[in-house]
Structures are given as C-alpha cells and as structure tokens.
Amino acid sequence: MAVGLSEPVNILPVAGIELASVACGIKSRGREDLVLIKLDSDSTCAATFTQNSFAAAPVLVAKKHLAQTHPRVLLINSGNANAGTGEQGIQNALQSCEWVAQALACKVEEVLPFSTGVIGEPLPMEALGAGVTAASQHLAVDNWMAAVRGIMTTDTIAKAVSKQIMIKDRPVTITGIAKGSGMICPNMATMLAFIGTDARVSDAYLQHCLDGAVAKSFNSITVDSDTSTNDACLLMASGASNNALIDADSDDAAAFSQALDEVCLYLAHAVVRDGEGATKFISVNVVAAASLKEARDVGYRIAHSPLVKTALFASDPNWGRILAAVGNAGIENLVAENVSIYLDDVCIVSGGCRDAGYTEAAGQRVMHQSEIIIKVVLGRGEVETTIWTTDLSHDYVTINSDYRS
C-alpha cells in the first residue's frame, strides 16, 4: 500500500496533446500496456535520459531521433524493457517507430520510443504492431489517466498531477504522469515520466526548466539504489495556449519554472511513496554542509543503508546506524563533535554522541510514524539538500524475487 498517496483527481487535459492506451498482450491478464501520445505540429520537447551504460534500445533510438527533429508522437510500452537486446532490440525499436509513422502520417524520426518492464527479452513485435494500430484510433485529449495505467508495472497506484497558472491573463496547464516503484535510484530519473503543457516555451528554456526540475525532484529520490536502463523524463510544450513565448528573459519565466518544479516534485514523491514494499516515506534533510556534493553524499549514504532502512521498517530508533552512515559518507575532515542528528523534532545525536536529553521513548514515538524526517546538521557551511527514500521491508524482497514469475 502506497504511503500517504491516493488516486489522482482533477487531472486536466492539455490542449494540443492527445493520448491513447490499449492492452495488446505484452503484460498479462489483459492489462493496458501500450500508450501513444500525439503532439501538435508546433510542439517543442525537452528530455533527460538514464546514464546507465547499458541504456536500453528505445533510449538510444529516442535520443537519436530527438537530436534530429521535433517529436510528433511518443510510443510507450510496459511489460518489456527492450534492454540488453543488442542490435535486434534497436531494429525492433525502429520498426515500432515505422509502424507509428505509418499509422499517424508522420516521419519515423518524429517518433520517440520508450519501454519499461523485464530486461533481456525481445519485444513481442506482432502484439506491439497490433497495439499501435488500435491505439492510433483512440487518441483523445482526456486520456491522461488511461495513459498512466498503461505505463505501470509494479506500481500499486497511478501517479498523475495537474497544475494551472496564469501567464499574461491566459490559463496555462501542466499535467504530468509517471511510473516507478522499484529499481529507483536516480542517475537522471529512475522511472518514466511524461509531462505536458499548453504553454509556448522556447526550446532552450524548456530544457533549462526540465534540467532544474529533475535535479530537485527525480534526481533526489531513491528506493533501492539501483538505476534502470530505461529511464526517461520528457517535457512536451504544445503552445496551444497562445501565450507570449516564454524564454529565460520573460517576466513569466520564474512562474512557469516554479510550476514545473512542483509537478515534478509531486510525481517524484509519488514514486517513493509507492516504493516496492514501502511502509514509510523518509525525508533525509542534510544541512550546514560545505557543498551540495557532500550534502547529497551524506543524504544518499543514509538513504541507501540497508541497516538504516530495515531499522526504519522495524520502527527501531537504532540511531547508531544513522551515525555510522554519516561517518561513512566519505566527507573529508568531518569533525564528529560538530555533527547533530534529529528524528523529526527529537535530537538523537549532538557533539558527536548520543544527545544528553534523548530517550528511547521519544525516538520510538517518531519511528512509529509513517512519515519521518531524518535531519543531519554537519556544522561545516550553509548548503542543504533533501533526499527522499523508503524503508526496506519483507515485501520488497518478495516482489523482486517473484518479478519475472
């Protein structure tokens, strides 16, 4: 059960972006597994992709196509990652793009493919081709919720959000969907996310906004420290709102960027809240660091520690595990006596050892909560950051040991 997360409501259509979702037989039990997203001809796109050295075939093809032209159609399948599939995987991804181009009268390079699911298995091309044909006949602007269900794998709940802002007295909509639950540790953004807006935004500023939003959201989450081969986050701007073009020098640039940040942060939190087997949502807040790098190093060391994560699952205030993780983060010349650590409002470590006022009962009270803040004060500078993660439960092991069954 996702931690503090409910089904999305009030998901708004985005003018200039149509979607369709069908079940073509890639996933079992008739679940939707193929999605098309069609963009108006004047749309612009920005993207970030996984940095995994074994990037999947669709990632390689999508990056190549994105460098050649403005995309018109996205093709997403779930249930099969088309990763670790060699040259045949590339050819299958290209063939999929050709089928989409034929169905929707666009160029092959205007199609971006995305896949998620089991690694190392060839795409079932006959089923995928039939799915493209079916989906191309059901495109509509109000299919965002159908689309998010079509990209889910081990997710237990749909992840979607909408936000509206005013740009020069014109309403601008931003709607985003994401999938992700396991194999979550960002090296871009460990999941798939598709965000659409009807705003007119310059290519350069669109990419600038996405890079900034991803750094503060999808690139600040982890469930299990594993980075996927297929990660992608795509931001689409249709321009259908006919607002004055937004670029870095626009009066409305900051408002658009902030709204995108909020959409991405909601989706990133939703991925963590639905982490495989998660029972708790953990914010690791590192403050008074000398640099962003050392703050993130400390945050991730805590968030990745199986000893810390299992203690969180057991509601055990074993503060020594957190202390050890901080000390093992590789921070040069860290002065232990200057470090303080808190569980929410409870100081557990000060002066490099257990705080004099700490009691087991106070720590236990916090650890029984479903949402917990671990705050680390390094006493070295003025930089801070937050990493979001989960506990590590028996169910995580069960889900991943049975993943291909």
Which positions are annotated as active-site residues? 190
Using only C-alpha atoms, the chain has a radius of gyration, in whole angstroms, of 22
User: In sequence order, what DSSP letters do the residues of 14-55 get, joined into one string?
Assistant: -TTEEEEEE--SSSSTT---EEEEEE-TT-EEEEEE---TT-
Tokens at residue 87, please? Answer: 């040259």
**Angle 19-142-112 from CA coordinates, rounded to 5°:** 20
Distance CA 305, CA 403 (A): 23
Determine phi and psi for 288, rounding to 5 degrees: 55, 40
Residue 111 and residue 128 in contact, taking contact as beta carbons nearer than 8 Å: no
CB distance 118 to 152 below 8 Å: no
Nearest to 140 by CA among 303, 18, 315, 7: 18
- Residue 379 tokens read as 């006493």
The tokens for 292 are 């962003």
Positive or negative: CA dihedral 57, 62, 64, 65: positive
Is the dihedral angle over the CA atoms 117, 53, 292, 247 positive or is it negative?
A: negative
In angstroms, the Cα distances linking 239 to 42, 65, 109, 263 are 7, 21, 21, 18
Name the DSSP letter for residue 12: P
- How far apart CA 354 and CA 166 sit, in angstroms, is 50
- Both tokens of 218, joined, read 């999808």
What would the two tokens of residue 141 be? 């602007």
Nearest by Cα to 135 from 245, 15, 38: 38
